[in-house]
Amino acid sequence: MLIATNAWGHVEKRPSKRKIGTMLADLDQDDHLILERQDESQEGSWYIQVLFRETNTYQLEHRDGVPAEHYQTQTVSQEKVLQALLDWAAHKPAWREGFMWTNIGHWFTPTRENEDDPTV
């Protein structure tokens, strides 16, 4: 099931294309929108999220199941972000195109020296 959540905690189950577009357009600076796939048969976290930054840019991130597969990009184009969100939601394989993605998975995975430390 697809779930959309905004910065204020509003949750929309099975959001329509129009609803996703409205939620994106309603973002103020430093607000975010998350689209998440919840499927009990699939392990891990599967989502795409966008943060509207103070610099009037959109920071787009996605995770493919595990922390090591977490990627980020930025753009000034709300239209490109909307198309990526809609295509991701529709399982269209080309949704990543048109962006320069950086793997930031190392931000979310413990380093070897800390992997036995439960406080990390």
Residue-level pLDDT at 93 = 87
What are the per-10-residue average pLDDT scores of the chain (120 residues)?
94 97 96 92 88 96 91 97 97 92 85 56
CB atoms within 10 A of CB 78: 16
Residue-level pLDDT at 112 = 63
d(CA 36, CA 43): 13
d(CA 47, CA 28): 21
> Does residue 7 sit in helix, strand or coil?
coil
